[in-house]
Structure 1
Amino acid sequence: MSPRRTDWGVLLGAAFLMATSAVGPGFLTQTTVFTQQLGASFGFVILVSILIDLVVQLNVWRIMVVAERRAPDLANAVLPGLGSLVAGLVALGGLAFNIGNVAGAALGLNVLFGLSLPLGALLTAGLAIVIFMVKEAGRAMDRTTQALGALLLLVIVYVAVTSHPPVGEALRRTVAPTHIDLLAIITLVGGTVGGYITFAGGHRLLDAGVRGPAAVPQATGSAVLGISVASVIRVLLFLAALGVVSQGLLIDKANPPASVFRLAAGPLGYKLFGVVLFAAAITSIIGSAYTSVSFLKSLGPIIGRHERLVTLAFILVSTLIFITIGKPIRLLVLAGTLNGFILPLTLGPLLVAAYRPAIVGNYRHPWWLTALGGVVVLGLAWLSVAVLMGN
């Protein structure tokens, strides 16, 4: 059944919520750092992460929409108590990411207007809280993520063009890399589809009433759009950084993404970096807070009854931790790695749930999606162990 006219905004909102949740300060930092380390061969890592993203999101969104349950509730239905464990881990990873998101937004305001980082963090938290406090918070969230997502894309296109990247070399090394970095793969997957990011759009669809077997085509299209937006932005950012690296220019380790924008487009590029960083950060704050709290609701009805207050507390705690502790750059990379470890634990139970008639009724999940999902679960579990053992 085709979505009603009013549903298109929801489908776009879910897609952009997922995409902009993935495209945060951690995304900018990870992409720049690994491009500097791996050069054109980082294209292979991006290709692998995009393929994994598609498999994960298509499985997760379809199963949740058919079952009409959030991810932790499905995990609990498969193995009692597992959903509560997953909810805690996802919320913890979301909090870690959100500290970096607040820091990124504050830095973006510092670049644009010269505001101090604590003041920028407080203003960012205030703006995010206003979005969640308006009467139709879901619609406000959808429109904000769509507008800022489009702005991100346009600015990064400009910077990618001005850096004059070696596109031919990038294409060659994407299919024939000179070096494969396991940590880069699991960090990138964790940063774009791990932890709360996996479920941001799917939970938004459920909350908006897009559910049941008839809604599978809508969920599929929305998931593909979200992955496409995030992937295009990542490829463009990779090319921008590669253009700078290939010219032999030195990227500042203290702030790698800002250095790329400045070296590629001069003083204007640095200001555009402020725009990109703030847009990426505020949309990621929205996605992180919304999805993390949607997981916590499975821990007890009291959280569901006070969802807005818990969301506001989540944002304020992230902000206060940044103001008092700071140093988010390493946290952003580590949080992406942590989310990569969590992904097999969250995807596995959903694949099992897809074959429980008590959960999905008469729905038949495509065997090839299940098979690919199983490969991703086993592959990421192996990668996690390999990374932890230092291989």
Structure 2
Amino acid sequence: MSENAVATRTTRTRSGRGALLGAMFLMATSAIGPGFITQTTVFTAQLGAAFAFAILISVLVDIAVQLNVWRVIGVSGLRAQDLANRVVPGGGYVLAALVVFGGLVFNIGNIGGTALGASAMVSAPDKIGGAVSALIAIGIFLSKRAGLAMDRIVVVLGAVMIAMVTVVAIKSGPPVGDALHQTVMPSQISFLIITTLIGGTVGGYITYAGAHRMVDSGLTGHQHLRSITRGSVTGVIVTGVMRALLFLAVLGVVAGGAALAKSNPSASAFQHALGAVGLHLFGVILWAASITSVIGASYTSVSFLATFSDWLSRNRNWVVVAFIVFSTAVFLVVGQTPVTLLVLAGALNGLILPIGLGVLMWVAARRASDLLGGYRYPVWLLVLGVAAWALTVYLAWESLGGIAALWK
């Protein structure tokens, strides 16, 4: 083999690894947003060390979901909305409408998260912090190599968040032994908290963030099956590691007898652990979590529209920019996402998971596997996926309560 051929092959291998890493971290950081941080803090304060069990169960269910989502989308090379349209005419448009609406509403909250993070980090006024953060996200999608830039920033910021939370977790001195014991033998179990965690990490647009990025990177087909499997599991584990570290950081604080402020429990926990420095550190983590969620929500939401017309496909990055601009404009005018819209979007996110996963499992179960190019789907994985789908149906039923509450 010539030197040029070897160099080309090496470049492609590195590019493939970079794209896979980017897809994994896009999925993980899309889940790690402002709500993720607040939920973890509040639930740790409620359950104490027993929250470790909820984290373990949610991670296992998330793996079952993402193993199937990544494999069906990755092997077929088709995005979720295109698969839905092939199986149920018009189904892809319904799925896209749900994802885009939910993504838009929560993106307003993500912009708000960047504003709060910038305020805690450098004392920036909320509107200025939110606007500047939005401009940074827009700059990524306007760059000549937007895909590469996005992959790199989510990986870097994801690593920064994990490193910083690790520092706080060590400093707070959590009862690690008790946490490990209660991971498998919890003193109390809250199924509501477990279902909330699952909905927050594989619900809405988050379900498809990594898989759609993988398709855009060209890592599709049977030949990439190993990478597809590894990426789906690793992405969930990254999210789980971040959740576990944040849990330990907060657990050390509450186990020490500190009372968290109700107005901002997460910031309070960091401040108790590290003083004034902890508050600034919290700002960095919240800003990183929020801006990566802005990137993930915007990219994934638009990925559900881009295949519907050639114009949208050609101008995809500009559509992403418009998505961010609109989200930011609403935040600047309203100040925060209206509570009613948040409840509605959260409830609809609960419906997206069983609808989308149901379609993908149907594609996997079809004997005429034309959409999978003749690939024989593993029975064990199909059974695992159907079991996970049944759980998502329960989550959807619970989320309908949120929709019903809006009409009372």
Question: Is residue 319 of structure 1 aligned with residue 331 of structure 2?
Answer: no
Kindly report which structure 2 residues correspond to 1:73-92, keeping only aligned pairs within 5 A, or say none: 73-92=82-101
Q: Which one-letter code corresponds to 1:167 in the other structure?
A: V
Secondary structure, in 3 states, of the residue corresponding to 1:16?
helix
Q: Which one-letter code corresponds to 2:141 in the other structure?
A: F
1:343 maps to what in 2?
353
Kindly report which structure 2 residues correspond to 1:208-223, keeping only aligned pairs within 5 A, or say none: 208-223=217-232
1:352 maps to what in 2?
362
Q: Rate the CA distance shift 1:353–1:312 in 2: closer, same or farther, 3 A.
A: same
Kindly report which structure 2 residues correspond to 1:1-391, keeping only aligned pairs within 5 A, or say none: 4-327=13-336, 338-354=348-364, 355=366, 356-386=368-398, 388=400
Q: Rate the CA distance shift 1:376–1:104 in 2: closer, same or farther, 3 A.
A: same
CA distance in structure 2 between the aligned counterparts of 1:180 and 1:337, rounded to whole angstroms: 23
TM-score by length of 2: 0.90
CA distance in structure 2 between the aligned counterparts of 1:31 and 1:173, rounded to whole angstroms: 16
Q: Which one-letter code corresponds to 2:361 in the other structure?
A: L
CA distance in structure 1 between the aligned counterparts of 2:337 and 2:260, rounded to whole angstroms: 18
TM-score by length of 1: 0.94
Contact in 2 for aligned 1:188/1:336 (Cα 8 Å): no
1:338 CA drift (Å):
4.5
CA distance in structure 2 between the aligned counterparts of 1:293 and 1:280, rounded to whole angstroms: 20
Q: Rate the CA distance shift 1:252–1:101 in 2: closer, same or farther, 3 A.
A: same
CA distance in structure 2 between the aligned counterparts of 1:112 and 1:360, rounded to whole angstroms: 47
Contact in 1 for aligned 2:49/2:251 (Cα 8 Å): yes
CA distance in structure 2 between the aligned counterparts of 1:42 and 1:328, rounded to whole angstroms: 29
CA distance in structure 2 between the aligned counterparts of 1:324 and 1:202, rounded to whole angstroms: 34
Q: Which one-letter code corresponds to 1:140 in the other structure?
A: A
Count of residues paired in the alignment:
390
Secondary structure, in 3 states, of the residue corresponding to 1:179?
coil
1:317 CA drift (Å):
1.5
**Structure 1 unaligned runs (5+)?**
none
CA distance in structure 1 between the aligned counterparts of 2:188 and 2:84, rounded to whole angstroms: 37
1:25 CA drift (Å):
1.1
Contact in 2 for aligned 1:251/1:260 (Cα 8 Å): yes
Secondary structure, in 3 states, of the residue corresponding to 2:99?
helix
CA distance in structure 2 between the aligned counterparts of 1:177 and 1:341, rounded to whole angstroms: 30
Q: Which one-letter code corresponds to 1:350 in the other structure?
A: L
1:261 CA drift (Å):
0.8
2:3 maps to what in 1?
none
**Structure 2 unaligned runs (5+)?**
1-8, 403-408
Q: Rate the CA distance shift 1:253–1:326 in 2: closer, same or farther, 3 A.
A: farther
1:184 CA drift (Å):
1.8
Post-superposition CA distance 1:266-302 (Å, at most 9, x none): 1111111111111111111111100000012244443
CA distance in structure 1 between the aligned counterparts of 2:87 and 2:361, rounded to whole angstroms: 10
2:406 maps to what in 1?
none
Secondary structure, in 3 states, of the residue corresponding to 1:177?
coil
Q: Which one-letter code corresponds to 1:342 in the other structure?
A: I
Contact in 2 for aligned 1:125/1:316 (Cα 8 Å): yes
Post-superposition CA distance 1:91-142 (Å, at most 9, x none): 1121122112111111111112211101111101100000000001000001
Q: Which moved further from structure 2: 353-362 or 194-203?
A: 353-362
Percent sequence identity over aligned pairs: 51
Contact in 2 for aligned 1:23/1:230 (Cα 8 Å): yes
Post-superposition CA distance 1:52-87 (Å, at most 9, x none): 111111111111111110011111111111111111
CA distance in structure 1 between the aligned counterparts of 2:216 and 2:81, rounded to whole angstroms: 15
CA distance in structure 1 between the aligned counterparts of 2:343 and 2:24, rounded to whole angstroms: 24
CA distance in structure 1 between the aligned counterparts of 2:135 and 2:266, rounded to whole angstroms: 25
Contact in 2 for aligned 1:29/1:329 (Cα 8 Å): no
CA distance in structure 2 between the aligned counterparts of 1:9 and 1:281, rounded to whole angstroms: 22
CA RMSD of aligned residues (A): 2.1
Secondary structure, in 3 states, of the residue corresponding to 2:13?
coil
CA distance in structure 2 between the aligned counterparts of 1:26 and 1:386, rounded to whole angstroms: 19
CA distance in structure 1 between the aligned counterparts of 2:157 and 2:306, rounded to whole angstroms: 28
Contact in 2 for aligned 1:186/1:337 (Cα 8 Å): no
CA distance in structure 1 between the aligned counterparts of 2:235 and 2:338, rounded to whole angstroms: 25
